[in-house]
Chains A and B, each alone.
Chain A
């Protein structure tokens, strides 16, 4: 396996995702002789994982079972160890498209943070592209390097430990796209411009606060970026549920039982307790929004560097 190439069977050294159930999963590094504890019991890597197909059901020692999944940047985003705030797949997807990334693209990113976006960028630009990522926090930079090595993508990424606002990306005139997720992106716009190819490219800056966006847009305009566009994308997830609504008793029951017009089809599945209380219920499937959703992650400002 690697994060940029599917494999069929689980091998020693792979990073696999143990799926216990909805919203409950974690990554595991597969190693001969190693064991992993889950709430369903122990998973023995040598016998339970290595050589099995990705997507298999694995029975744990207590009889419960889990699925073992092939890693993807999206699964990694949901399960990675946080060292910073991270970008989630909803923002990542619009960033990738609006930066026009594809195999062969050269991308600059700062900061690396926990590597959530980095993995997605590497996946998209592989096998011929490259990611230059800059992280001013030494420990985080090292940790990211280690993860890229473990995930089999180190040849596609260069991690530099420096301050992007002072020292830039360490490359010039080679990038097709630049992404900034730092507290003061306006200080890095000049460096971003020189990292981009002479004939142009795309830039994106992610900021949670509108004041940051304001300053960034001004800096972009001063640096000659065009097509400056700020947007926000929000994910809405729906639970699929069967809902039953009671038919109100308007006193018609005594006179005419069939007058509600609903009772012909629906009440067959209803709970017996309901049936005792009133004449009937109507059942339907509904996509119910979650009680609480993410209302804001950050503003995404995109722009184009064009020639001259």
Chain B
């Protein structure tokens, strides 16, 4: 059931463009203009090639698989030993701005422009070997535009989102997401509860790790779940068969036993309608811009932009069905609407039934909301001896959550943590940590559920404290100045 995309790029695939460290998710469609890193092109020629192929953008926006070129290094290597005689007079480059622009306009290959820049640099020969290396690399990056098309994965999409749209995913850094998946023991066959407001990225990561086995109940705020990032994964259809959703606003009634699908508000329906309209608009704009050949400011679907969350890529069956009904007569439309509502209700009932069993294998929370109320309620649906993980961009709410969970009981091994991620440059004689690192990727509170004893309160509470307190007490003593 691993299914997934094949090794070759096919029309309709969800793919990711990569240039150096920059990613962008796109859907592979013929004659659709793509703008990426200040370049425009069509993906038509990429279809049929294997994922991981690197392309060059040629005239007319065509992609050409990049040939492995033998690096013909400039004649005999000449290099200085230090920079004592190199003066920054701003005149070392003999080519002017206009010269370079002319070269570019002539359609000369980036590689040749770099060569010309080197030849016209008076100081190049005096630079140290390492400095020459660095110079070439910098110029290559600017003039030799190559794009690699890769298959989407949690690794790529979480890196992409963190770099491009961290606000959309509450600044959840990819290594933090990796911790969540491991701490949560996410694997095939689980019955997971996921509550996220990370554009569906966390949901997608959980779905990838479950490989279509088991079930997921996504708790959503407002009118419906956001799955813009989920759709970028390009999961096969069966992965969505056991993906359920349940409105957060119904949690209390479900817990108190007053839940009924009859009171279901119609807002999800309206929400879907709104989405549909905005999609139509963006698509029209897209084609119009393609025809005029202008560089559209609005980006194609699946790109990370402000309109993206309302995009077509939500692969949910309802959307597809809805699209079909759109063209039909109004009467029929109403009838279809009723059927749809009935189906929605049925799905909701299924999700409610799954939750009512109170035997979920784990809980993952990563949202913009305060974690404490979410945890206190949603943990009710989790079986004992199962892990849970809560993400928060800030530490303070998790401190409170920790305290409240201790008061509630039914949880052990509570741990508040954070990871630091440091990247390295590894080159002969030039290895060191990269100059910048991410300042923060959020915090996690994790733990394990245990059987919550009825009428517990004070006694078990104090005992729990007895169990866990000593270590911190010891620290306290050590912390005292002597």
**B183 and A126 within 8 A (CB):** no
Residues of A within 8 A of B100 (CB): none
Contacts A94-B175, A214-B431, A285-B399; is A55 near B450 (CB within 8 Å)? yes
Contacts A123-B185, A238-B416; is A97 near B154 (CB within 8 Å)? yes
Interface check A21, CB cutoff 8 A = yes
The residue from B182, B211, B449, B478 contacting A74, defined by CB atoms under 8 A apart: B182
**B416 and A213 within 8 A (CB):** no
Residues of B within 8 A of A13 (CB): none
Interface check B376, CB cutoff 8 A = no
**B475 and A239 within 8 A (CB):** yes
For window 446-460 of chain B, which residues contact chain A by CB distance below 8 Å? 448-451, 453
Interface check B261, CB cutoff 8 A = no
Residues of A within 8 A of B476 (CB): 241
The residue from A4, A22, A69, A218 contacting B467, defined by CB atoms under 8 A apart: A22
- Binary CB contact string for chain A from 86 to 127 against chain B (1 if under 8 A, 0 otherwise): 000110111011101011110000000000000010011011
- How far, in whole Å, are A194 and B34 apart by their CA atoms in the complex? 36
| Of listed A4, A210, A239, residue having the most chain B CB within 10 A | A239
**A127 and B188 within 8 A (CB):** yes
**B384 and A103 within 8 A (CB):** no
**B178 and A94 within 8 A (CB):** yes
Of B56-64, B264-272, B421-429, which stretch is located at the interface? Answer: B421-429
Contacts A74-B182, A104-B211, A126-B187; is A240 near B387 (CB within 8 Å)? no
Interface check B32, CB cutoff 8 A = no
Interface check A260, CB cutoff 8 A = no
**B417 and A238 within 8 A (CB):** yes
Interface check B383, CB cutoff 8 A = yes
Dominant SS at the A interface? mixed
**B178 and A240 within 8 A (CB):** no
B239 CB to nearest chain A CB (Å) = 11
- How far, in whole Å, are A231 and B421 apart by their CA atoms in the complex? 7
**A210 and B185 within 8 A (CB):** no
B25 CB to nearest chain A CB (Å) = 16
Interface check B209, CB cutoff 8 A = yes
Interface size on B, residues (CB 8 A): 77
Contacts A55-B384, A93-B178; is A102 near B399 (CB within 8 Å)? no
Of A28-36, A181-189, A300-308, which stretch is located at the interface? Answer: A300-308
Our count of residue pairs bridging A and B at CB distance below 8 angstroms stands at 207
**A287 and B178 within 8 A (CB):** no
Interface check A148, CB cutoff 8 A = no
Contacts A102-B209, A238-B418, A291-B478; is A96 near B181 (CB within 8 Å)? yes
Residues of B within 8 A of A69 (CB): 385, 448, 450
The residue from A67, A103, A304 contacting B213, defined by CB atoms under 8 A apart: A103
Interface check B333, CB cutoff 8 A = no
- How far, in whole Å, are A109 and B37 apart by their CA atoms in the complex? 38
Interface check A72, CB cutoff 8 A = yes
Residues of B within 8 A of A236 (CB): 417-420
B390 CB to nearest chain A CB (Å) = 13
Interface residues on A, range: 35 or more
**A232 and B422 within 8 A (CB):** yes
For window 266-308 of chain A, which residues contact chain B by CB distance below 8 Å? 285-288, 290-291, 299, 301, 304, 306-308
A251 CB to nearest chain B CB (Å) = 24
Beta-carbon nearest neighbor of A307 in chain B: B50
Residues of B within 8 A of A23 (CB): 471
The residue from A55, A67, A90, A228 contacting B383, defined by CB atoms under 8 A apart: A55
Residues of B within 8 A of A230 (CB): 423-424, 426
The residue from A67, A218, A237, A285 contacting B428, defined by CB atoms under 8 A apart: A218
Contacts A70-B385, A104-B2; is A234 near B400 (CB within 8 Å)? no
- Binary CB contact string for chain A from 196 to 208 against chain B (1 if under 8 A, 0 otherwise): 0001100000000
Beta-carbon nearest neighbor of A308 in chain B: B68
Residues of A within 8 A of B471 (CB): 22-23, 239
Beta-carbon nearest neighbor of B8 in chain A: A199
> What are 24 sample pairs from A and B whose C-beta atoms fall under 8 A apart?
A6-B190, A21-B467, A54-B384, A55-B383, A55-B448, A55-B450, A55-B451, A69-B448, A72-B387, A74-B182, A89-B183, A93-B182, A93-B183, A103-B1, A127-B188, A127-B213, A128-B2, A200-B51, A233-B420, A233-B422, A235-B419, A237-B417, A287-B399, A290-B475
Report A's interface with B, CB cutoff 8 A.
Answer: 4-6, 8, 19-23, 53-57, 65, 67-70, 72-74, 89-90, 92-94, 96-98, 100, 102-105, 120, 123-124, 126-129, 199-200, 210, 213-214, 217-218, 228-241, 285-288, 290-291, 299, 301, 304, 306-308
Other A-B contacts than A285-B399, A307-B50, 4 sampled, CB-CB below 8 A, are: A55-B385, A56-B450, A100-B153, A228-B426
